């Protein structure tokens, strides 16, 4: 008899494969012992973000604010306005002074480059706990 362990799916958007790798490695298989394992969906374009979110099944979206040509903050704002029941969003920003822009984007969490693995895992863990508890994402 096999049991299927619950998982949460995290979308990671960046045009930079290295950034996607750093995010994935920071989170690992599960960002905290009290949370389910994670599965990653990696995308490198704005269109892929929208297509993936429209398809459903994403629990958390991590968007690179430094991605080009479409930055994660603009995409975050778009999905908050256009995707019904959008998942919570973590935006990766270029520098701590840009945190006010993340407020404009309506992201629930912000981490600045260079990415600190502990900070990334902690932010994702908090978003996952909220999602598991049924707390709606900001809209």
Cα separation of 136 and 12, whole Å? 20
Q: Which residues lie across from 37 on neighbouring strands?
A: 7
E strand segments, 65-127: 89-93, 109-112
| Ordered DSSP codes for 32-56 | STTS-EEEEEEE-SHHHHHHHHHH-
Ordered per-residue pLDDT tens for the chain, 139 residues: 445 788 999 999 999 999 999 999 999 999 999 999 999 999 999 999 999 999 999 999 999 999 999 999 999 999 999 988 899 999 999 988 888 887 889 999 999 999 999 999 999 999 999 998 887 776 5
Could you give phi then psi for residue 38, rounded to 5 degrees? -115, 150
pLDDT value of residue 138: 65
Whose structure tokens read 């394992």? Answer: 37
Q: In whole angstroms, what separates CA 119 from the centre of its chain?
A: 13
Residue 24 in contact with residue 43, Cβ under 8 Å?
no
State the sign of the Cα–Cα–Cα–Cα dihedral 16, 18, 21, 27: negative
| Full set of structural domains in the chain with CATH | 7-132 (3.40.50.2300)
Closest CA to 65 of 109, 25, 26: 109
pLDDT in tens, 21-56: 999 999 999 999 999 999 999 999 999 999 999 999
- Round the average pLDDT of the chain to a whole number and report it: 92
């Amino acid at each position: 008899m096999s049991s299927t362990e619950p998982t949460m799916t995290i979308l990671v958007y960046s045009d930079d494969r290295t950034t996607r790798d750093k995010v994935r490695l920071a989170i690992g298989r599960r960002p905290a012992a009290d949370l389910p394992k994670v599965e990653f969906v990696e995308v490198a374009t704005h269109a892929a973000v929208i297509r993936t979110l429209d398809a459903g099944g994403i629990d958390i979206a991590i968007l690179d604010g430094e991605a080009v040509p479409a930055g994660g903050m603009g995409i975050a704002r778009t999905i908050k306005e256009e995707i019904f029941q959008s998942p919570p969003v973590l935006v990766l920003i270029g520098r701590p002074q840009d945190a006010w822009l993340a407020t404009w984007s309506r992201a629930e969490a912000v981490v600045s480059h260079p990415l600190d693995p502990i900070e990334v895992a902690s932010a994702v863990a908090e978003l996952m706990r909220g999602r598991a508890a049924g707390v709606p994402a900001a809209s």
